[in-house]
Every structure is written in structure tokens, then in C-alpha cells.
A = this chain, B = another copy of it.
Amino acid sequence: MADQFWESTPEGVDEALTYADAAFPVFGNLPGKTRAAFLRAIGRQILDLGDVLIQVTSRETGLPLGRIEGERARTVDQLYQFADLIEKGSWVEATIDTPIPDRKPNPRPSLCRMLVPLGPVAVFGASNFPLAFSVAGGDTASALAGGNPVIVKAHPGHPGCSVLVGEAIVRAAQETGMPEGVFSLLLDEGTSVGKDLVAHPKVQAVGFTGSYKAGMALCQVAAERKVPIPVFAEMGSINPVILLPGALEKRAGQLATQAASSVTLGVGQFCTNPGLILAIHSPALESFIEAFGKVISETAYGTMLSPRIAGAYHKSVQEVLDQTGVKLITRSSKDNLNELNQGQPTVARVNAEDFMGSPKAHQEVFGPFSLLVCCKDFQDLNQVVDSLAGQLTFTLHCEPAEMNGHPDLLQKLREKAGRIIFNGMPTGVEVSPAMHHGGPYPASTDSRFTSVGIHAIKRFVKPICFQNWEDALLPPELQASNPLQIVRRVNGIHTKNPIA
């Protein structure tokens, strides 16, 4: 299976899809336990790569070794969480309505429903998560778990890492007897292979994490197909953090440290980076600003993912600083003179009116930057919230008592963001069943789906209903004896019992 690394040509895309399409009927119908073994084998193969993977990835991305080790653990954990899910098997939402032959005026037929895979899924690696959202990342893990062959377009920022992980997946596929074509890796410096991939008629869905511009370009290709397909694009956001007066009054210094740390974590290269801070004028706010600026000025420059990303960061910061009314609070003074691709932590402030008048100030700056919007009063703050687009996260710092006074604000956050955080910071996306990582457009293309956690599998499956089918011809999930011992909804009751 060494030929699984297709050349980045239109023919390579077509060849990968021909294999994937042939693999689909086999792979999609394998028992959950068998696919789970494949996912676990991928995890083990990644761990078996050892230090080489860590070293290569660090060299390619500029991310520190410890961060990559943590990300590797997360990547393997994601694979294992999906393996657990499909091994248990109840995720298919098996629903059975038994026949009522003597019902009047018409008999009720036998009906049963379960989730089945869509077919080959295209996954785009993200620059900022070379392991957890790239070749064997969350999109790949959830698509494979659902029973879909995967074709990954590697991010050009970490080709060595991508090939290492791709080879690990191929070894895992061989080791566990998966059909040829269950996984392919495509490499390309530009965008043409990605567009060919999304346009290919055999691709059934797309998973993407990256910029708004790239995500929307893929959506357009998908919409112009003869048969349109869904693109699940997580396109980032500015993750507003609201500091209510009570919280500022009580803990301005602590908030400043927390906020500065979240803004500069990973050199600001997280999609949940707090790029916007909202607060109301007060002496406590000025104390916050002073302390915030102090920590930022003392936080060292950091190595960004690539020269392109570092260049774009400084250009974007300057664009925001050039907006009417935007004033620099401070910049880091701790330059790492000998390092490449440095991102300089920078924070700025603006009043509500100028912010609302500037679309540029609403845009994500990918890097260690945050803009503080100083509002006159609650009305001003509410208007700023109203002016914001859909977000991955919204954060609220307040004292419990003062929250009760603003029920409308909580409602607005529920409408604007996929995750709302209370007295915390948006960075740090837990991989667990209750996580929702997504949000209203433009944070993602479909607010109903998450790209993190087990519910991410739902992007790549669809229900199918079998009517009046012979028991022996049904998938085991729906057979009367319940051979897989999964939880099913039978005539409205959740049960593992067989059907009499």
C-alpha cells in the first residue's frame, strides 16, 4: 500500500477516490468492533513513531516539543474515544417500530432506522494543529469511525509530519485488514488539489479547519457541483470575553493575568484565542488595562507556524491599529532576536462606537493580539454584542449576583456562540461528550454540528429507514435478537432487550 500517497495531480485525486469508493461498501459495513480496532491501531502506530514525529513536527511548525507531545496525546485519545463509541455501538440511534397488522384504517408496517455512513470524506489538515486536526485528527477519526473512507489533503505547513502520520495510518490499516483505499493522503503546496478533491463526484462530505477565506472557497466548489455536498468548515472567530463591572471590581489583576495568558497561549494561534475583550468604563477597568498591558509587554515574542502566518499576523495587527479610534495599549518588548517567524504580543483599545463602525476591527487576527472595547454603559455593551457575528465561544466574567440582572445578555450569547464560558478563558477545548466546538456562521458553516468530541461523528452519517424488511437481511443493529446488545428505541422505549 505504499502507493497510497498519491501525487498531487488531478489523476492522483481521481485514483484516490476510485480506491476509496471501492473500499466504501466493505469498510462501511464492517462491525463497529473491527473499525474500532483500526482506530486503536492508528493510535498505537502514532505512538510508535516516537520522538521522530515530535522532532519533525516541531521543526516544521515552530511549536515547542512539550506542546506537540500534549497534542499527540490528545490525538491518540480522540481516536480511542471514537473507538470506544463504535465498539459499544449504540451511537447508530437504532429505532424500531414493530408492525401493527390489524391497525385501522391501515396496518402499520415494520419500520426500523439507523445511522449509516455517507461515503468517501475529504479532510483538510489544519496548520495550527499538525496532529489533532490534521492527517489523523478529529475529522479523520470521526469520519473513519462512522464508516467512511478518508482522503486527507495535508496542510503544506507540515508535510513531514503528515507523511509520518499517513504512513502510520496505512500500517494500521494493513495490520487490521482494512480494505485498500480506506485512507489516502494527498500533498500539494497550492489549492488546486484541494479544489479537485472537493469537486470530485465520489466525495460525499468535507471536513475543514482553517481560515474563513479558504473555508468559503471550498464551500463554493461544493455548492457548484452537480450534486452539492456538505462542507463542515470550522473557520475561527474572535471569541469575545465580557468583563462585567463586578468581576473587574473584585479581581482586575487576576483577570489581567488570565486574559494575557490566554491571548498569548501558543502564540495566539488557537481558533479560540480571545481576540476581543468587552468592558464598561470604570476605574477598575483602567486598573485591568494597566495590569493587562504590563503582562503583555513582559510576554516574550513567540515562534509562529510559518513566515507567511507571521507576516499576515503583523499586517493584520497594523490594519486594526490603523482603524479610526483604535489605540495601542502595549506591545511586548521581549524580542527573541535570533528566532524566525516571531509573533509580537500586542493589545489595543477602542471605544464602542468606533469598534461598531469598523468591519476590519471585527475580523479575526490570527496570533497573540486582542482588542479591548471600552463601552460607556450596559446599553453600549449590548449594542456591541448585537453587532458581532457568530462565534465559536463567548466568555462572561461576572459575579453571580450581577448575572441575574442581565438575562438578555445570556440569551444573546446562546444565540451568538457554540460554547459559553463562565469566569474562565476560551482557550483549551476539552475533548469530551459535552463539548461543542462549532458555532453560528461565520464561525462554522453549520451550527448544528461539532468538530470536537464524539458528536462529531454525526457530520458524516445519515439515517436510513428499512420498511418491511426480512430480519436476516437487516444490519445486525436492527435485527430482532439484538445480536450486538446495543441500546435501541423500540416502540418508544430505550432498551437492550430483543424483540419478541
Residues B465 and A420 in contact, CB atoms below 8 Å apart: yes
Answer yes or no: A423 CB below 8 A from chain B CBs. yes
A97-B434, A119-B415 given as contacts; is B466 within 8 A of A422 (CB)? yes
A447-B462, A462-B448 given as contacts; is B112 within 8 A of A434 (CB)? yes
A106 contacts across to B, CB distance below 8 A: 428
Residues A448 and B420 in contact, CB atoms below 8 Å apart: no
A446-B230, A470-B400 given as contacts; is B116 within 8 A of A465 (CB)? no
Answer yes or no: A382 CB below 8 A from chain B CBs. no
CA distance A112 to B433 in the complex (A): 9
- When each residue 412-444 of chain A gets 1 if its CB lies under 8 Å from chain B and 0 otherwise, what string results? 001101111111100010101111101011100
A447-B118, A461-B448 given as contacts; is B97 within 8 A of A433 (CB)? yes
- When each residue 461-480 of chain A gets 1 if its CB lies under 8 Å from chain B and 0 otherwise, what string results? 11111111110110000000
Residues A422 and B469 in contact, CB atoms below 8 Å apart: yes
Residues B424 and A109 in contact, CB atoms below 8 Å apart: yes
Residues B420 and A436 in contact, CB atoms below 8 Å apart: no
Residues A96 and B434 in contact, CB atoms below 8 Å apart: yes
Chain B residue nearest to A400 in the complex (CB): B470
Residues B463 and A436 in contact, CB atoms below 8 Å apart: yes
Shortest beta-carbon distance, A416 to chain B, in Å?
A: 10
Chain B residue nearest to A225 in the complex (CB): B441
Answer yes or no: A315 CB below 8 A from chain B CBs. no
Tell which of A153-161, A256-264, A403-411 binds the partner.
Answer: A403-411
A227-B390, A468-B424, A469-B422 given as contacts; is B116 within 8 A of A434 (CB)? no
Residues B418 and A465 in contact, CB atoms below 8 Å apart: yes
Residues B435 and A113 in contact, CB atoms below 8 Å apart: yes
Copies of this chain held together in the complex: 2
- Give the most central of A108, A408, A458, A492: most B CB within 10 Å: A492
A498 contacts across to B, CB distance below 8 A: none
Answer yes or no: A489 CB below 8 A from chain B CBs. yes
Answer yes or no: A328 CB below 8 A from chain B CBs. no
Residues A433 and B463 in contact, CB atoms below 8 Å apart: no
Answer yes or no: A25 CB below 8 A from chain B CBs. yes
Interface size on A, residues (CB 8 A): 72
Residues A450 and B436 in contact, CB atoms below 8 Å apart: no
Shortest beta-carbon distance, A343 to chain B, in Å?
A: 23
Residues A468 and B418 in contact, CB atoms below 8 Å apart: no
Residues B436 and A464 in contact, CB atoms below 8 Å apart: yes
A72 contacts across to B, CB distance below 8 A: none
CA distance A230 to B449 in the complex (A): 13
CA distance A488 to B95 in the complex (A): 18
CA distance A423 to B469 in the complex (A): 8
Contact of A403 among B424, B430, B448, B470 (CB under 8 A): B470
Answer yes or no: A29 CB below 8 A from chain B CBs. yes
A489 contacts across to B, CB distance below 8 A: 433
Shortest beta-carbon distance, A160 to chain B, in Å?
A: 26
CB contacts under 8 Å to B, within A107-156, are 108-109, 111-113, 116, 118-119
CA distance A113 to B448 in the complex (A): 12
A227 contacts across to B, CB distance below 8 A: 389-390, 440-442
Answer yes or no: A314 CB below 8 A from chain B CBs. no
CA distance A119 to B440 in the complex (A): 12
Contact of A466 among B118, B420, B462, B494 (CB under 8 A): B420
A108 contacts across to B, CB distance below 8 A: 430, 432
Residues A420 and B97 in contact, CB atoms below 8 Å apart: no
Answer yes or no: A62 CB below 8 A from chain B CBs. no
Answer yes or no: A89 CB below 8 A from chain B CBs. no
A446 contacts across to B, CB distance below 8 A: 230
Answer yes or no: A307 CB below 8 A from chain B CBs. no
A472 contacts across to B, CB distance below 8 A: 400
A101 contacts across to B, CB distance below 8 A: none
Answer yes or no: A329 CB below 8 A from chain B CBs. no
Residues B434 and A464 in contact, CB atoms below 8 Å apart: no
Answer yes or no: A40 CB below 8 A from chain B CBs. no
Residues B469 and A420 in contact, CB atoms below 8 Å apart: yes
* Chain A contact residues, CB within 8 Å of chain B: 25, 29, 70, 95-97, 105-106, 108-109, 111-113, 116, 118-119, 223, 227-228, 230, 389-390, 400, 403-404, 408, 410-411, 414-415, 417-424, 428, 430, 432-436, 438, 440-442, 445-448, 450, 455, 458, 461-470, 472-473, 487, 489, 492, 494
- A sample of 9 cross-chain residue pairs with beta-carbon separation below 8 angstroms, ordered by A number, consists of A95-B433, A97-B433, A111-B432, A227-B441, A421-B467, A424-B467, A434-B465, A440-B462, A455-B463
Besides A95-B433, A97-B432, A113-B436, 16 new A-B residue pairs in contact (Cβ under 8 A), listed by A number: A25-B411, A70-B105, A95-B434, A96-B434, A97-B430, A106-B428, A111-B432, A400-B470, A404-B473, A418-B462, A419-B465, A420-B465, A420-B467, A421-B468, A436-B464, A447-B462
